[in-house]
Amino acid sequence: MSKARVGVVLTLVALAVGAGLYAQNGMNAIAQPAERSSIEAPAALSTSGMALPDFREIVRRNREAVVQIAVRGEDRRMQEQFGEDSPFGEFFRRYGIPGNPGNPGNPGAPQGQAPERRGSGSGFIINANGRILTNAHVVKDADEITVTLSDNREFKAKVLGLDERTDVALIEIDAKGLPTTRLGDSDRIEVGEWVLAIGAPFGMSYTATQGIVSATDRQLRETYVPFIQTDAAVNPGNSGGPLFNARGEVIGINSQILSGSGGYMGLSFAIPINTATLIADQLADKGFVERGFLGIQFQPVDGRLAERFGLDRPRGALVGSVTTDGPAEKAGVQAGDIVLSYNGKQLESSGELPPLVGATPVGAKATIEVLREGKTRKLTVTIGKLEEEAAAGATPRGERSAPAEARESRLGLTLSELTADQREQLDIKGGVLITAVQRGPAARAGLARGDVIMGANHKAVESIEELREAIGDQAKGGATLLLVRRGAGSLFIVIEAQE
């Protein structure tokens, strides 16, 4: 009998209990902002004589400024599933949704009412007049928000604004003279520092857990947040709670964990407080967040791409496509450029670029250094305003007048030239459509049916014949670099030679 292999799937988990409620200038908009302090908590000595933080003092000093947040609202996922456009919509309007208190058999309850979802999280007071920071996913879609203070007083809260891209929310309660947390400087933290998390995991109020900073500037899914990674134990319900340094200053907002079980497994992530306060100021002032926009789509640079582009080692962000008439195109950025630095900050990974661009004021000028054809050059770009992304482009479909397919055996691809309708649909002038991928180097590299090859070995291609010429004999004796259009974006893919 063979033994089955068991794999563990790690998932980023947002830390609010009851996840059904959600699916990351000028004068301070936060009135009376929390004071940043450099006062150090008393330190104890370890057996080796080294100073240790006094976590007891940190908890005593900040307990009253940490709050519990309970939310109620309709399960909008059920509404989307069984709404007006659902084939079952009329049935559930008449007879109710299974498991909903509003179903027939529950006297007095409205028929067909969407089920109620409840959730909970944490937060911390940053202003004596009742302003509280928490996570966007804690309060998103909530119809009622209740904040419980350390003395068990309860207040209804209103959302001043939330930002899903950074997972930051600013809420407010009607109260005066509240204790506040002190905010630190998250740009100064280092790996190995002691940290303390306070929150309400699984509804267990005012739970304190300690650990160290295990990484900084951690990028998760190319977001606008350079997360602080810690090993402090946080669990569902900790969302929105503060992460303190050894001086008792808030340096982050606990937000996510990496888990295969839904609970703590040694990796937790916090939003840096410097990022959070920039967002909160805009939310308080305008109710929304305005971000800088560069106008490129990019990808990470791995070892194979670094070699193909003449880079000394993997680093930077490889530009796959440039938005027409966008800030980057106007500044001279081209597909195939590798962005090495932004306003003097070297990019060790592509994920470092979005937070830097997003934090740049709209209309400001930024200097980017790019590598192009083996040479570096500096470009000045005027940052635009980020709008909602356009929907992903449709995969090209064959038309009645589609040309015959051709086989490219060196790459293991079946190809077809695009029709005029397909080119118009994708808003491109050239390219070759992949209609099938055989076993071999192309499949191993990740090419897929529906991809459009826009270039090969730094040469644009508009036909199968041009693609074959660009490949030449490299497909037999070396790696081939392809520029591929996939959906609404573009990326570079290296295909290793057939062995």
Task: Give the torsion sign (CA, 92, 95, 98, 100).
Answer: positive
CA atoms within 13 A on the CB side of 405: 14
Q: Which of 122, 239, 268, 490 is catalytic?
A: 239
What letter does residue 65 receive in the DSSP assignment?
G
Q: How far is residue 405's CA from residue 382's CA, in Å, rounded to a whole number?
A: 44
Q: How far is residue 279's CA from residue 276's CA, in Å, rounded to a whole number?
A: 5
Q: Which of 75, 120, 122, 167 is catalytic?
A: 167
Q: Which of 120, 137, 281, 451 is catalytic?
A: 137
Residue 318 in tokens: 């490889």
What letter does residue 365 receive in the DSSP assignment?
E
Closest by CA to 360, choosing from 291, 283, 278, is 291
Look up 458 and say whether it is catalytic.
Answer: no
Cβ contacts of 220 within 8 Å, gap of 6 or more: 12, 24, 227, 256, 269
Look up 167 and say whether it is catalytic.
Answer: yes
Residue 406 in tokens: 């051709």
Kindly report the three-state secondary structure assignment for every residue of 269-299.
EEEEHHHHHHHHHHHHHHCCCCCEECCEEEE
- Return phi, psi of residue 416, to 5°: -145, 140
91-105 per-residue burial string, b: 16 or more CB within 10 A, e: under 16: ebeeebbeebebbee
Closest by CA to 148, choosing from 241, 202, 67, is 67
Look up 217 and say whether it is catalytic.
Answer: no
Closest by CA to 296, choosing from 456, 489, 165, 454, is 489
Q: How far is residue 52's CA from residue 19's CA, in Å, rounded to a whole number?
A: 37
Closest by CA to 269, choosing from 371, 367, 137, 446, is 137
Residue 185's alpha-carbon distances to 182, 205, 275, 314, in angstroms, are 10, 27, 10, 30
**Coil, helix or strand for 98?**
coil
> Where in the sequence numbering do the catalytic residues fall?
137, 167, 239
